[in-house]
Structure 1
Amino acid sequence: MTGIDTAQLKQFVVIPTLQQMGAGMASMAAINLVVGTALAESNAAFLRQVTNSGFGPARGLWQMEPFTHDDCWSNWLRYPPQSKAATAIRAMIGNLPAEADLMIVHLAYACAMCRVKYFRAPTALPRFDDAAGLSRYHKQFYNSALGAADPVANVARFREAIRS
Protein backbone atom coordinates (compact mmCIF):
# COMPACT_ATOMS: atom_id res chain seq x y z
CA MET A 1 0.00 0.00 0.00
CA THR A 2 1.39 3.37 -0.95
CA GLY A 3 0.44 6.55 0.82
CA ILE A 4 1.08 10.24 0.47
CA ASP A 5 4.17 11.18 -1.50
CA THR A 6 6.94 11.44 1.10
CA ALA A 7 8.49 14.62 -0.29
CA GLN A 8 5.10 16.34 -0.33
CA LEU A 9 4.27 15.17 3.19
CA LYS A 10 7.59 16.60 4.35
CA GLN A 11 7.37 19.89 2.43
CA PHE A 12 3.68 20.73 2.79
CA VAL A 13 2.73 19.22 6.15
CA VAL A 14 5.64 18.39 8.43
CA ILE A 15 7.98 21.34 7.88
CA PRO A 16 5.32 24.10 8.11
CA THR A 17 3.62 22.42 11.07
CA LEU A 18 6.81 22.05 13.09
CA GLN A 19 7.90 25.59 12.20
CA GLN A 20 4.55 26.93 13.39
CA MET A 21 5.05 25.14 16.71
CA GLY A 22 8.04 27.32 17.57
CA ALA A 23 11.75 27.28 18.26
CA GLY A 24 13.34 23.89 18.70
CA MET A 25 10.49 21.98 17.09
CA ALA A 26 11.62 22.06 13.45
CA SER A 27 15.22 20.84 13.44
CA MET A 28 16.18 18.63 10.51
CA ALA A 29 16.38 15.68 12.90
CA ALA A 30 12.85 16.36 14.15
CA ILE A 31 11.53 16.76 10.61
CA ASN A 32 13.07 13.49 9.44
CA LEU A 33 11.92 11.71 12.60
CA VAL A 34 8.31 12.84 12.17
CA VAL A 35 8.24 11.99 8.45
CA GLY A 36 9.84 8.61 9.13
CA THR A 37 7.33 7.94 11.89
CA ALA A 38 4.39 8.41 9.49
CA LEU A 39 6.06 5.94 7.13
CA ALA A 40 6.86 3.44 9.90
CA GLU A 41 3.46 3.66 11.59
CA SER A 42 1.09 3.69 8.60
CA ASN A 43 3.20 3.88 5.43
CA ALA A 44 1.67 7.39 5.33
CA ALA A 45 -1.45 5.64 4.04
CA PHE A 46 -3.86 4.79 6.86
CA LEU A 47 -5.98 7.21 8.83
CA ARG A 48 -7.11 4.55 11.33
CA GLN A 49 -5.22 1.56 12.60
CA VAL A 50 -6.18 -1.54 10.63
CA THR A 51 -6.57 -4.84 12.50
CA ASN A 52 -7.84 -8.28 11.57
CA SER A 53 -11.18 -7.41 13.16
CA GLY A 54 -11.58 -3.91 11.71
CA PHE A 55 -10.09 -0.79 13.23
CA GLY A 56 -7.79 -0.42 16.20
CA PRO A 57 -7.47 2.59 18.47
CA ALA A 58 -4.63 4.45 16.73
CA ARG A 59 -5.50 7.55 14.72
CA GLY A 60 -3.96 9.50 11.86
CA LEU A 61 -0.95 8.85 9.65
CA TRP A 62 1.15 8.83 12.82
CA GLN A 63 -1.10 6.20 14.46
CA MET A 64 -1.29 7.84 17.87
CA GLU A 65 -3.63 6.22 20.36
CA PRO A 66 -6.21 8.36 22.19
CA PHE A 67 -4.60 7.69 25.58
CA THR A 68 -1.26 9.04 24.32
CA HIS A 69 -2.97 12.05 22.72
CA ASP A 70 -4.83 12.86 25.93
CA ASP A 71 -1.70 12.38 28.02
CA CYS A 72 0.17 14.91 25.87
CA TRP A 73 -2.52 17.50 26.66
CA SER A 74 -3.04 16.57 30.32
CA ASN A 75 0.57 16.16 31.35
CA TRP A 76 2.55 18.45 29.10
CA LEU A 77 0.73 20.94 26.87
CA ARG A 78 -1.45 22.36 29.66
CA TYR A 79 1.56 23.67 31.63
CA PRO A 80 2.87 27.25 31.20
CA PRO A 81 6.35 26.33 29.86
CA GLN A 82 4.60 24.70 26.87
CA SER A 83 2.14 27.53 26.29
CA LYS A 84 3.78 28.57 23.01
CA ALA A 85 3.46 25.07 21.53
CA ALA A 86 -0.07 24.65 22.90
CA THR A 87 -1.13 28.04 21.50
CA ALA A 88 0.34 27.18 18.10
CA ILE A 89 -1.46 23.83 18.04
CA ARG A 90 -4.76 25.42 19.07
CA ALA A 91 -4.30 28.01 16.30
CA MET A 92 -3.96 25.16 13.78
CA ILE A 93 -7.31 23.68 14.77
CA GLY A 94 -9.25 26.89 15.34
CA ASN A 95 -12.45 26.32 17.29
CA LEU A 96 -12.28 22.53 16.99
CA PRO A 97 -11.86 20.58 20.22
CA ALA A 98 -8.43 19.02 20.78
CA GLU A 99 -9.69 15.44 20.58
CA ALA A 100 -7.92 12.32 19.37
CA ASP A 101 -10.36 11.79 16.47
CA LEU A 102 -9.20 15.08 14.99
CA MET A 103 -5.93 13.35 14.09
CA ILE A 104 -7.84 11.32 11.51
CA VAL A 105 -8.91 14.33 9.45
CA HIS A 106 -6.35 17.02 10.30
CA LEU A 107 -2.84 16.22 9.07
CA ALA A 108 -1.16 19.20 10.73
CA TYR A 109 -2.76 18.41 14.08
CA ALA A 110 -1.71 14.76 13.92
CA CYS A 111 1.80 15.84 12.91
CA ALA A 112 2.00 18.32 15.80
CA MET A 113 0.88 15.70 18.31
CA CYS A 114 3.56 13.33 17.04
CA ARG A 115 6.18 16.05 17.58
CA VAL A 116 4.87 16.72 21.09
CA LYS A 117 5.23 13.04 21.95
CA TYR A 118 8.86 13.09 20.83
CA PHE A 119 9.61 16.44 22.44
CA ARG A 120 8.75 14.90 25.81
CA ALA A 121 11.34 12.13 25.40
CA PRO A 122 14.26 12.37 27.85
CA THR A 123 16.99 11.78 25.26
CA ALA A 124 18.27 14.10 22.54
CA LEU A 125 17.29 13.34 18.96
CA PRO A 126 19.73 11.37 16.82
CA ARG A 127 21.54 13.09 13.95
CA PHE A 128 19.23 14.16 11.12
CA ASP A 129 20.93 11.76 8.69
CA ASP A 130 21.16 8.70 10.97
CA ALA A 131 18.36 6.46 9.67
CA ALA A 132 19.18 3.61 12.06
CA GLY A 133 19.33 5.99 15.02
CA LEU A 134 16.02 7.63 14.07
CA SER A 135 14.41 4.22 13.72
CA ARG A 136 15.66 3.10 17.14
CA TYR A 137 14.48 6.40 18.66
CA HIS A 138 11.04 5.86 17.12
CA LYS A 139 10.85 2.38 18.60
CA GLN A 140 12.00 3.49 22.06
CA PHE A 141 10.05 6.72 22.48
CA TYR A 142 7.05 6.45 20.17
CA ASN A 143 6.17 2.83 19.50
CA SER A 144 7.38 1.31 22.80
CA ALA A 145 8.84 -2.08 23.61
CA LEU A 146 5.40 -3.68 23.36
CA GLY A 147 4.60 -2.15 19.96
CA ALA A 148 4.86 -3.93 16.63
CA ALA A 149 7.48 -1.64 15.05
CA ASP A 150 10.67 -3.32 13.90
CA PRO A 151 13.58 -0.88 14.26
CA VAL A 152 15.73 -2.85 11.81
CA ALA A 153 13.07 -3.15 9.10
CA ASN A 154 12.06 0.50 9.54
CA VAL A 155 15.53 1.84 8.77
CA ALA A 156 14.52 1.93 5.08
CA ARG A 157 11.53 4.12 5.95
CA PHE A 158 13.69 6.58 7.84
CA ARG A 159 16.19 6.61 4.93
CA GLU A 160 13.27 7.57 2.69
CA ALA A 161 12.35 10.37 5.10
CA ILE A 162 15.93 11.66 5.00
CA ARG A 163 16.11 11.46 1.17
CA SER A 164 12.81 13.23 0.53
Structure 2
Amino acid sequence: MTGLNLPQFKAEIVVPTLNAIGLGGDAAVNLLTGTALVESSLVYLRQVNGPALGPWQMEPFTEHDIWITFLPDPRLGSLKTTMQAMLARDIPHTDQLITNWRYACAMARLKYYRSPDPLPAANDAPGQAHTWKRIYNTSLGAGDIDASHIALFQQAIEA
Protein backbone atom coordinates (compact mmCIF):
# COMPACT_ATOMS: atom_id res chain seq x y z
CA MET A 1 0.00 0.00 0.00
CA THR A 2 1.30 3.47 -0.80
CA GLY A 3 0.46 6.76 0.80
CA LEU A 4 1.60 10.32 1.14
CA ASN A 5 5.00 11.48 2.28
CA LEU A 6 4.36 11.92 6.01
CA PRO A 7 6.78 14.81 6.72
CA GLN A 8 5.34 16.74 3.76
CA PHE A 9 1.76 16.02 4.84
CA LYS A 10 2.57 17.25 8.33
CA ALA A 11 4.47 20.36 7.17
CA GLU A 12 2.27 21.35 4.21
CA ILE A 13 -1.23 20.47 5.43
CA VAL A 14 -1.38 20.02 9.19
CA VAL A 15 0.94 22.78 10.46
CA PRO A 16 -0.39 25.65 8.33
CA THR A 17 -4.00 24.61 8.84
CA LEU A 18 -3.77 24.46 12.61
CA ASN A 19 -1.89 27.76 12.68
CA ALA A 20 -4.57 29.35 10.47
CA ILE A 21 -7.31 28.46 12.95
CA GLY A 22 -5.18 29.41 15.95
CA LEU A 23 -5.09 25.87 17.38
CA GLY A 24 -1.59 24.76 16.48
CA GLY A 25 1.44 23.77 18.48
CA ASP A 26 3.52 20.61 18.46
CA ALA A 27 1.08 18.56 20.54
CA ALA A 28 -1.85 19.34 18.24
CA VAL A 29 0.21 18.87 15.07
CA ASN A 30 1.43 15.44 16.16
CA LEU A 31 -2.02 14.39 17.36
CA LEU A 32 -3.68 15.40 14.06
CA THR A 33 -0.94 13.80 11.97
CA GLY A 34 -1.21 10.60 13.98
CA THR A 35 -4.99 10.65 13.75
CA ALA A 36 -4.81 10.75 9.95
CA LEU A 37 -2.37 7.83 9.98
CA VAL A 38 -4.54 5.75 12.29
CA GLU A 39 -7.82 6.60 10.57
CA SER A 40 -6.90 6.35 6.87
CA SER A 41 -3.24 5.30 6.63
CA LEU A 42 -3.07 8.40 4.41
CA VAL A 43 -4.40 6.12 1.69
CA TYR A 44 -8.19 5.95 1.99
CA LEU A 45 -10.49 8.88 1.25
CA ARG A 46 -13.67 6.94 1.95
CA GLN A 47 -14.13 4.48 4.75
CA VAL A 48 -14.48 0.92 3.54
CA ASN A 49 -18.03 -0.13 4.46
CA GLY A 50 -18.73 3.04 6.40
CA PRO A 51 -19.67 6.71 6.18
CA ALA A 52 -16.38 8.34 7.22
CA LEU A 53 -14.63 10.65 4.75
CA GLY A 54 -11.19 12.09 4.05
CA PRO A 55 -7.77 11.53 5.55
CA TRP A 56 -9.19 11.98 9.06
CA GLN A 57 -12.18 9.72 8.31
CA MET A 58 -14.72 12.09 9.85
CA GLU A 59 -18.32 11.01 9.67
CA PRO A 60 -20.75 13.48 8.06
CA PHE A 61 -22.85 13.51 11.26
CA THR A 62 -19.83 14.69 13.26
CA GLU A 63 -18.98 17.41 10.74
CA HIS A 64 -22.59 18.61 10.80
CA ASP A 65 -22.75 18.46 14.60
CA ILE A 66 -19.67 20.69 14.93
CA TRP A 67 -21.36 23.34 12.77
CA ILE A 68 -24.66 23.14 14.62
CA THR A 69 -23.67 22.68 18.26
CA PHE A 70 -20.13 24.03 18.59
CA LEU A 71 -19.18 26.73 16.09
CA PRO A 72 -22.12 29.05 16.90
CA ASP A 73 -20.76 29.51 20.45
CA PRO A 74 -19.89 33.23 20.76
CA ARG A 75 -16.98 32.38 23.08
CA LEU A 76 -15.14 31.01 20.03
CA GLY A 77 -14.76 34.49 18.55
CA SER A 78 -14.01 34.46 14.84
CA LEU A 79 -13.41 30.70 14.56
CA LYS A 80 -16.69 30.13 12.71
CA THR A 81 -15.80 32.86 10.21
CA THR A 82 -12.34 31.35 9.75
CA MET A 83 -13.88 27.95 9.09
CA GLN A 84 -16.37 29.41 6.61
CA ALA A 85 -13.50 31.07 4.74
CA MET A 86 -11.86 27.64 4.26
CA LEU A 87 -14.86 26.29 2.39
CA ALA A 88 -15.01 26.11 -1.38
CA ARG A 89 -18.17 27.53 -2.87
CA ASP A 90 -20.88 25.31 -4.34
CA ILE A 91 -19.45 22.07 -2.88
CA PRO A 92 -21.29 20.46 0.04
CA HIS A 93 -19.37 20.61 3.32
CA THR A 94 -19.25 16.84 3.69
CA ASP A 95 -17.74 16.41 0.22
CA GLN A 96 -15.01 18.82 1.27
CA LEU A 97 -13.88 16.35 3.94
CA ILE A 98 -12.45 14.48 0.94
CA THR A 99 -11.49 17.28 -1.44
CA ASN A 100 -10.43 20.12 0.87
CA TRP A 101 -7.75 18.79 3.20
CA ARG A 102 -7.29 22.07 5.07
CA TYR A 103 -10.97 22.02 5.94
CA ALA A 104 -10.87 18.33 6.87
CA CYS A 105 -7.84 18.90 9.11
CA ALA A 106 -9.47 21.89 10.79
CA MET A 107 -12.67 19.94 11.42
CA ALA A 108 -10.69 17.07 12.95
CA ARG A 109 -8.91 19.57 15.19
CA LEU A 110 -12.27 21.00 16.29
CA LYS A 111 -13.43 17.50 17.23
CA TYR A 112 -10.56 17.41 19.73
CA TYR A 113 -10.85 21.08 20.71
CA ARG A 114 -14.43 20.86 21.88
CA SER A 115 -13.43 18.24 24.44
CA PRO A 116 -12.47 19.66 27.84
CA ASP A 117 -9.56 17.19 28.07
CA PRO A 118 -6.08 18.66 27.60
CA LEU A 119 -3.93 17.41 24.76
CA PRO A 120 -1.15 14.98 25.68
CA ALA A 121 2.45 16.09 25.41
CA ALA A 122 3.82 16.46 21.88
CA ASN A 123 6.16 13.47 22.32
CA ASP A 124 3.74 11.14 24.16
CA ALA A 125 2.66 8.56 21.57
CA PRO A 126 0.74 6.36 24.06
CA GLY A 127 -1.02 9.45 25.43
CA GLN A 128 -1.93 10.58 21.94
CA ALA A 129 -3.28 7.13 21.08
CA HIS A 130 -5.43 7.18 24.21
CA THR A 131 -6.67 10.69 23.40
CA TRP A 132 -7.52 9.62 19.86
CA LYS A 133 -9.54 6.65 21.13
CA ARG A 134 -11.33 8.58 23.89
CA ILE A 135 -12.22 11.73 21.93
CA TYR A 136 -12.00 11.01 18.21
CA ASN A 137 -12.75 7.31 17.74
CA THR A 138 -14.81 7.05 20.97
CA SER A 139 -15.99 3.94 22.74
CA LEU A 140 -18.35 3.28 19.82
CA GLY A 141 -15.55 3.21 17.23
CA ALA A 142 -13.86 0.10 15.95
CA GLY A 143 -10.34 1.31 16.75
CA ASP A 144 -8.28 -0.05 19.63
CA ILE A 145 -5.25 1.20 21.46
CA ASP A 146 -2.60 -1.34 20.64
CA ALA A 147 1.09 -1.38 19.78
CA SER A 148 0.41 -0.72 16.10
CA HIS A 149 -1.64 2.40 16.83
CA ILE A 150 0.91 3.73 19.29
CA ALA A 151 3.60 3.11 16.64
CA LEU A 152 1.65 5.23 14.16
CA PHE A 153 1.47 8.11 16.62
CA GLN A 154 5.21 7.71 17.23
CA GLN A 155 5.74 7.85 13.48
CA ALA A 156 3.75 11.10 13.37
CA ILE A 157 5.88 12.55 16.18
CA GLU A 158 9.09 11.70 14.33
CA ALA A 159 7.92 13.01 10.95
Q: TM-score w.r.t. structure 2 length? A: 0.94
AA partner of residue 15 (structure 1): V
Q: Given the superposition, is the C-alpha separation of residues 96 and 18 from structure 1 closer, same or farther in structure 2, using an over 3 Å criterion?
A: farther
- Separation in 1, partners of 2:116, 2:34: 20
* Gap runs ≥5 in structure 1: none
Q: How far apart are 1:78 and its partner, in Å?
A: 1.7
Partner of 1:158: 153
Partner of 1:6: 6
Bigger mean CA offset, 32-41 vs 2-11: 2-11
- Separation in 2, partners of 1:150, 1:132: 12
2:83 equivalent to 1:85: no
Q: How far apart are 1:83 and its partner, in Å?
A: 3.6
AA partner of residue 40 (structure 1): V
- Separation in 2, partners of 1:98, 1:133: 34
- Separation in 1, partners of 2:103, 2:29: 15
* Gap runs ≥5 in structure 2: none
Partner of 2:30: 32
Q: Indicate conservation of the 8 Å contact 1:59/1:103, yes or no.
A: yes
Q: Indicate conservation of the 8 Å contact 1:77/1:83, yes or no.
A: no
Q: Indicate conservation of the 8 Å contact 1:90/1:98, yes or no.
A: no
- Separation in 2, partners of 1:29, 1:2: 26
- Separation in 2, partners of 1:26, 1:96: 28
Q: Given the superposition, is the C-alpha separation of residues 98 and 74 from structure 1 closer, same or farther in structure 2, using an over 3 Å criterion?
A: farther
Q: Indicate conservation of the 8 Å contact 2:87/2:93, yes or no.
A: no
Q: Given the superposition, is the C-alpha separation of residues 78 and 157 from structure 1 closer, same or farther in structure 2, using an over 3 Å criterion?
A: same
Q: Indicate conservation of the 8 Å contact 2:53/2:59, yes or no.
A: yes
From 107, 122, 128, the counterpart of 1:128 = 122
From 61, 64, 71, the counterpart of 1:67 = 61
Q: How far apart are 1:95 and its partner, in Å?
A: 3.1
- % identical aligned pairs: 44
Structure having the higher strand fraction is 1
Q: Indicate conservation of the 8 Å contact 2:14/2:29, yes or no.
A: yes
- Separation in 2, partners of 1:158, 1:62: 14
Q: TM-score w.r.t. structure 1 length? A: 0.91
Q: Indicate conservation of the 8 Å contact 1:135/1:158, yes or no.
A: yes
AA partner of residue 62 (structure 2): T
